[in-house]
Chains A and B, each alone.
Chain A
Amino acid sequence: MHFWKEGDLSQAVCEDCRRLVQTRFEVRGFPLEASGVVVPGVLVAVCTECGGIAALPAQSEPRLKEARERRKSQVLETRVPLHLEDMVHALALRFDTAVEMFRPHLLRFYLREVAADPALARRVEKLARSEAARGRARARVSLRLPEGLLEAARAQGRAAGLRTDADLVRGIIVAAAEDVLDGRAPERRARLSGAAQAEGAPRLRTA
Chain B
Amino acid sequence: MGFKRVRELLIAALAGGRYQHERRSAAAEKNLLSCGAVTANFVVTLLLRCRGDQYSASAHHFDARVRCHVFRPSLGPERWYVKAYLLGTDAVFISVHRSEEE
A interface vs B, CB < 8 Å?
A: 1-3, 10-13, 15, 18-20, 33-34, 45, 52-59, 61-62, 64-65, 68
Asked whether A15 and B90 contact (CB < 8 A) given A61-B34, A68-B35, the answer is no
Looking across the interface, which residue of chain A has its beta carbon closest to that of B60? Answer: A13
Interface on chain B toward A: helix, strand, loop, or mixed SS?
A: loop
Q: From B24-32, B45-53, B73-81, give the one contacting chain A.
A: B24-32
Which residues of chain A have C-beta atoms less than 8 A from B21's C-beta? Answer: 55-58, 61
Q: Are A64 and B17 in contact (CB under 8 A)?
A: no
Which residues of chain B have C-beta atoms less than 8 A from A2's C-beta? Answer: 16-18
Asked whether A56 and B34 contact (CB < 8 A) given A2-B16, A10-B90, the answer is yes
Other-chain contact of B25, A12, A33, A52, A59 (Cβ < 8 Å): A33
Q: Are B22 and A13 in contact (CB under 8 A)?
A: yes
User: Within the complex, what minimum Cβ distance (angstroms) separates B20 from chain A?
Assistant: 4
Which residues of chain A have C-beta atoms less than 8 A from B35's C-beta? Answer: 61, 64-65, 68
Identify 17 new A-B residue pairs, CB closer than 8 A, beyond the known A2-B16, A18-B63, A20-B60: A2-B18, A10-B20, A10-B87, A11-B87, A13-B22, A18-B62, A20-B63, A33-B26, A33-B27, A55-B22, A56-B21, A56-B23, A58-B17, A58-B18, A62-B36, A65-B35, A65-B36
Number of interface residues of B (CB under 8 A): 27
Which residues of chain B have C-beta atoms less than 8 A from A34's C-beta? Answer: 28
Q: Are B17 and A1 in contact (CB under 8 A)?
A: yes
Which residues of chain B have C-beta atoms less than 8 A from A33's C-beta? Answer: 25-28
Q: Are A12 and B36 in contact (CB under 8 A)?
A: no
Chain B 1-42 interface mask (CB, 8 Å, partner A; 1/0): 000000000000000111111111111100001111000100
CA of A55 to CA of B23 in the docked complex: distance in angstroms? 5
Other-chain contact of B23, A1, A19, A53 (Cβ < 8 Å): A53
CA of A54 to CA of B60 in the docked complex: distance in angstroms? 15
User: Within the complex, what minimum Cβ distance (angstroms) separates B100 from chain A?
Assistant: 19
User: Within the complex, what minimum Cβ distance (angstroms) separates A15 from chain B?
Assistant: 6
Count chain B CB atoms within 10 A of each CB in A1, A11, A59 and give the residue with the most: A11
Which residues of chain B have C-beta atoms less than 8 A from A12's C-beta? Answer: 20, 22, 87, 92
Is B57 part of the contact surface with A, judged by Cβ < 8 Å? no
Chain B 90-101 interface mask (CB, 8 Å, partner A; 1/0): 101000000000
